[in-house]
Structure 1
Amino acid sequence: MITSIWNVKGGVGKTLTSINLAAGFAKEGKKTLLVDMDGQSSVSYLLFPEREFEYGDLTIVDALAGTGEISECIYHTNIENLDVIPATIYLFTVEKQMLVNTSSGIQQTKLKKLLKKLQGYDEIIIDNNPSINLCTTNALCACDRLIIPADLEKGALKGIELTLQHSQEILENIDGANFEIRILPTKIQRNKIDTETLEELKTVYGSMVYQTNIRYQAAPIKDSSMKGRMLINDMKSRSKVAQDYRDLVAEVLQEEK
């Protein structure tokens, strides 16, 4: 199963969801690959805190540019069953070049063709930039499932609407694109506004919305990032957000059965 994590609205917990969903799959014994398709390289920085990928290192940039085999761009993490294809800021340059070449008609499915070359992975997670660009289009064309992390701040529903609109355009206009869409409420706080917005979200989108909600808890998230460890492995009772991600992994895997 290939899953893309994307929302045109930034700051919704996209990368946090990508990393913890991938780590959760790996913990459940699923051979998992996490693909960084964001030139900001947040996934790469967080999973390899002591290493900075630079020009010359084989990354998703080389795979898309054709200067390296995708199998050579895979790096093992210190988490059993979890591998990563990192990104660098040069991804923005490659995306620009791909945009120039769209007349050839194959640029939107480059990533899909590359991932088909890989064998042995049960789950592939693609983390994306919030922009609507050719990289995110590639990620959507390659995936079986799109998860839209959505916080409940002002503009949340509009962000979902725009994300769904672009996703639907891809499903309708690009041959071979075929993915289900799910919405993951994130950064939930115990207040009247969030409660009402969450109910509105469920009313509008119904079964598209996961039962699992990711609560807002800044301290555990910051602590796990600074110490380079997986939030999902935090078994402390105070880390409710870690439990939420464990619940999400269980819900997603149950649906795959």
Structure 2
Amino acid sequence: MKIFTIANLKGGVGKTITTVNVAYLLAAEQGRRVLVVDNDQQGNASHFFGRYGYDKPGMAEVLARTAGPEAVIQHTDYEHIDIIAANLNLAKAEKAVLLDTMVPQQVRLRECLRQVKNVYDYVLIDNAPSLGMCVVNALTTSDWLIVPAKIDRWTFEGVDMLLQQAEQVQSYFNPQLRFAGTLITNYRRNESNRQGAEWLRAAGKYKPFHSMIRWTDKVDESTFAAAPIVVHSPRCNASKDYRRFTAELMRLAGDAPDGEQKGGEQA
């Protein structure tokens, strides 16, 4: 089971869009078993998959250690995609965890996911724009960190702070955590975006993926349609980009995409 945390301290950079589209591509086009963890009290991923609500336990109960995976994991309408949903109760649970010193605060999500390690091929954790205990739990259980980012003047400070947090988690709780890279989203072919992408590459530490997700209004349309962009508009640039990114991610995880040999050559 390969676990990816998708996080950024900024909102509106495409964390949830990236999570749901990669999940769909892994499941529908690559046949992988995927668990989405909605680790954001806003519950956008839960809304997307039609599983937002208060009638079933979810991520809040995972953090509070009052429910196990058999209770919190729900099937979605998409084959091979399950979800641990979230709602506003997650904010209360996060505060309660900080007051609970009897059980380690940072490993509660890891305890849950370890029980299903043979059930899923991939876990994708969608996070709030925060450095709180929910995100620390995500980093503690993950193999890789992905940072979606738009190119603007405030991009780099937020990425730096998140990478510092990841380094601390790696040192104290999760030595296997690795920074997979920065995924440039909402990319426009203009001079400022081109220069920003070049700066990211030249800086070295931000490790931008080769794939960049180009801007299109079809992405916003897909959220209202509650459909992955690759379903809503399969021929748009963003759909092509997410396919390339998913393949890049699978190769990073040592899992060659279907139709591709381990060395990355076409079969």
Q: TM-score range by the shorter chain?
A: over 0.9
Compute the displacement of 1:24 (Å). Answer: 1.3
SS at match of 1:40: coil
User: For residues 65 and 207 of structure 1, do their structure 2 counterparts lie closer, same or farther at Cα, with a shift above 3 Å needed?
Assistant: closer
Report which structure shows greater RCO (CA 8 Å, sep ≥6): 1
Contact 2:149 2:184 in 1 (8 A): yes
Contact 2:97 2:105 in 1 (8 A): yes
Compute the displacement of 1:36 (Å). Answer: 0.3
Q: Matches of 1:157 and 1:97 in 2, distance apart?
A: 32
SS at match of 2:204: helix
Let me know the Cα RMSD of the aligned residues.
Answer: 1.6
> 1:47 aligned to 2:49?
yes
Compute the displacement of 1:177 (Å). Answer: 4.0
Deviations 1:38-88 (A, max 9, x none): 00100001110xx5412x422121222232222211111121111111001
Q: What's 1:35 paired with? A: 37
Greater share of helix: 1
Q: Structure 1 stretches of 5 or more lacking a match?
A: none
Identical-pair percentage: 29
Q: Matches of 1:227 and 1:207 in 2, distance apart?
A: 33
Q: Structure 2 stretches of 5 or more lacking a match?
A: 255-267
SS at match of 1:147: strand
Give aligned pairs, total: 250
Q: Matches of 1:58 and 1:196 in 2, distance apart?
A: 46
Deviations 1:98-129 (A, max 9, x none): 1112x346110111111001131000000000
**1:145 is aligned with what amino acid?**
W
User: For residues 130 and 177 of structure 1, do their structure 2 counterparts lie closer, same or farther at Cα, with a shift above 3 Å needed?
Assistant: farther
Q: Matches of 1:176 and 1:154 in 2, distance apart?
A: 31
Q: Matches of 1:117 and 1:64 in 2, distance apart?
A: 15
**1:30 is aligned with what amino acid?**
R
Compute the displacement of 1:165 (Å). Answer: 1.2
TM-score w.r.t. structure 1 length?
A: 0.92
Q: What's 1:98 paired with? A: 97
**1:98 is aligned with what amino acid?**
V
Q: Pairwise mapping of residues 100-179 of structure 1 onto structure 2 (< 5 A)?
A: 100-101=99-100, 103-104=101-102, 106-118=104-116, 119-172=118-171, 174-179=172-177
SS at match of 1:107: coil
Q: Pairwise mapping of residues 172-251 of structure 1 onto structure 2 (< 5 A)?
A: 172=171, 174-181=172-179, 182-205=181-204, 208-217=207-216, 219-234=217-232, 236-237=234-235, 239-251=236-248
SS at match of 2:123: strand
